[in-house]
Amino acid sequence: MTGSVTVAGLGPGDAALVTPEVTQALSRATDVLGYVPYVARITPRDGLRLHPSDNREELARATHALEIAAAGGHAVIVSSGDPGVFAMASALFEALETWPGDRHPEIAILPGITAMLAAAARAGAPLGHDFCAINLSDNLKPFALVENRLRMAARGDFAMAFYNPRSKSRPHQFARVLDILREECGGDRLILFARAVTTPDEAIAVTTLAEATPEMADMRTVVLVGNSATRRVGRWVYTPRSAESAAG
Amino acid sequence: MTGSVTVAGLGPGDAALVTPEVTQALSRATDVLGYVPYVARITPRDGLRLHPSDNREELARATHALEIAAAGGHAVIVSSGDPGVFAMASALFEALETWPGDRHPEIAILPGITAMLAAAARAGAPLGHDFCAINLSDNLKPFALVENRLRMAARGDFAMAFYNPRSKSRPHQFARVLDILREECGGDRLILFARAVTTPDEAIAVTTLAEATPEMADMRTVVLVGNSATRRVGRWVYTPRSAESAAG
C-alpha cells in the first residue's frame, strides 16, 4: 500500500482562485481533513471521506492524515490560502518528526493564493516592494517576539502584512500593535483592512495609522501596512518599485 | 468604448498553477503584454495580439496597456508568479499616476502563486512562521537599503525569501549578502536555493550559511533562509509554528 498526504491551499475563498493542481489532488483524494470551514468548501462525492475538525487541532489532524496514508489512503489536508503561510504544512512536518513509522508516506505540499496577496491585488499593489508577513496571534509565541518583529520591520521600512490580527480572547493586543506602529512609522502611514477577501463578505478599508482603530480588524481580516513610500492613486494603493534613499 | 487593463500572475511556470481566474481573463483578452519569456507562455489564438517586450521596459509596457484600454481593448499584462510581488502591478500604478486621461480605465489585479511560496512548498514549509520577502536587485534601490533590511530581518528572527539574488551585472553583491547573513545569523542557519521551481529545470539545494556560495544562485533562483528554529525532517525543511522565546 502506497498512500500519500497532500497539504493543499484552497486560496482565500473564490473557487476561481483554486489552482488546477489542487483541484486534481482533491479529485484523487480518499480523505479530506481540515478546519471545519475549509472542509465545508469541498464538494462531497462517493468514495470521499470528509474529516472536519476544530481549530487548534492541527497536530492531531496531521497525525490522522499520516495514519490514513500509512493504511494506503490518499489524504488531502486543506488549508485556506497557502498551506505554508501560518497553516497546516508546518503542522504536518511537526507531526512527521514524532511519527513512529520507519518509512515516511509520500508527501506533497501544493501552494495556494495566500490571503495577503489576494488582499494586495484587490487594493492595488501595496506589497510591491520588500515586505514582511507576521502572524499576530500569540497562541504559539510570546507577544514580546511580535513586538520586536514589528519594530524591526518598521526600522527596515518594510511593508507589512498581518494575519490573525485580532480575536475575542485577546482584544487589547491589536491596539498595542497599532500603538507600536504609530510610534515607529508615524500617523500618516497607510494601513489597509481587508476582510474576507474574494468572498461575498469582502470589505476593504484604507486609512492611516492615525485614524486606524482596533475594531477595524477581526479574525477574518488581513491587515496590510505600507512602507514610507506607499501612496494612493485614484481608488488604488500601491508601493513604488523604487526606493530613493536608505532607511534605517 | 470601455476597455480594461488586467495584470495577471501566471505562477512560477507549471500550467497547473495558473488560476482559473487568470485563464478566464486571458480568454477574453484582445492584447497580452509582458516580458518576452512570460508572453511566450501564452497560447496564440485568432484575435489576440501578443506584445512581448524587454526587461526594464515596465513603465512603457504599462503605458501601452493603458493606451490599448483607452481605445477599447482588453489588455492583460502577464507577470510570472504574483503580479504584486516585485512585478508589473506597481509599474501599472506608477504609469497611472502620470496618465493624462481624465478617466482611468477599468483595472484588475489577479493574484498568482509567487515563486517563494512555490519554492517553500517544494522544500517543505520553511516560511511556516513570520517571514520577509526582499528583492536583492539594486536596479531600483541603493544596496545600503538592502543591507539594512537584511540586518533588521535577521534581528527580528524572520525567515527570509530573496528574489533576483544575483545577476551578471552585479556578481559580487550576493557574496556580500551571504557575508551579512553569516554575521547576523551564524553559519548553521539553513539556506535553500530553489531554481526554476515547477519547471523542467527545477533544482532545489539545501545547505547552511557556512557552506553556501554565491554561485548557488542565479536570476532564476529564489533563495530562502530559515529563522533560528528552521530544521530538517527527512528530506524536508520546515519552520515550526511556535516560537519559545523572544529574539532581538
Q: pLDDT, tens digit, for every residue of A205-217? A: 999 999 999 999 9
Q: How far is B138 from chain A (nearest CA, A)?
A: 9
| pLDDT band at A155; cut points 50, 70, 90 | very high
Angstrom distances, CA of residue B213 to CA of A201, A214, B13: 48, 45, 26
Closest CA to A104 of B231, B226, B236: B236
Parallel, antiparallel, or unpaired: how do β-strands B106-110 and A4-9 relate? unpaired
Helix (H/G/I), strand (E/B), else coil: B35: strand
Using an 8 Å CB-CB cutoff, list chain B residues near A110: 121
Chain centroid, CA A173 distance in Å:
19
* Domains, in order of start, for chain A: 4-113 (3.40.1010.10), 116-238 (3.30.950.10)
What share of chain B has pLDDT > 90, as a percent? 86
Measured N-to-C along each axis, helices B173-185 and B143-155 cross at an angle, to the nearest 10 degrees, of: 20
| pLDDT band at B118; cut points 50, 70, 90 | very high
Min mean pLDDT across A97-111, A201-215, B119-133, B187-201 is at A97-111
Whether the per-residue pLDDT at A141 is higher than 90: the answer is no
Output the pLDDT for position B246: 38
What average pLDDT does the structure give for chain B?
94
Q: How far is A14 from chain B (nearest CA, A)?
A: 9
Q: Is B105 on the interface with A (CB under 8 A)?
A: no
Q: Where does residue A186 fall: left (phi above 0), alpha (psi -120 to 50 degrees), or beta otherwise?
A: left
| pLDDT band at B167; cut points 50, 70, 90 | confident
Note the pLDDT tens digit of each residue in A11-25.
999 999 999 999 999
Whether the per-residue pLDDT at B93 is higher than 80: the answer is yes
Give residue A144's identity as a one-letter amino acid code. A
Output the pLDDT for position A245: 45
Q: Is B89 on the interface with A (CB under 8 A)?
A: yes
Output the pLDDT for position A140: 74
Neighbours of B180 (CB within 10 A): 15
Whether the per-residue pLDDT at A135 is higher than 90: the answer is yes
Q: Cell 511519527 identifies what position? A: A99
Calpha distance B36→B34 (Å, rounded): 6
Instruction: Calculate mean pLDDT across residues A30-45.
Output: 97
Calpha distance A12→A23 (Å, rounded): 15
Give me the residue from B104, B110, B121 closest to A109, CB to CB.
B121
Calpha distance B111→B144 (Å, rounded): 30
Q: Say if residues A11 and A113 touch (Cβ distance below 8 Å).
A: yes
Number of H helices, E strands in chain A: 7, 13
Using an 8 Å CB-CB cutoff, list chain B residues near A84: 117, 120-121, 125-128
Q: How far is B213 from chain A (nearest CA, A)?
A: 23
Output the pLDDT for position A1: 58
What average pLDDT does the structure give for chain A?
94
Count, residues in chain A: 248
Using an 8 Å CB-CB cutoff, list chain A residues near B135: 129-130
Output the pLDDT for position A56: 84
| pLDDT band at B168; cut points 50, 70, 90 | confident
Q: Say if residues B63 and B71 touch (Cβ distance below 8 Å).
A: no
Instruction: Calculate mean pLDDT across residues A73-95.
Output: 97
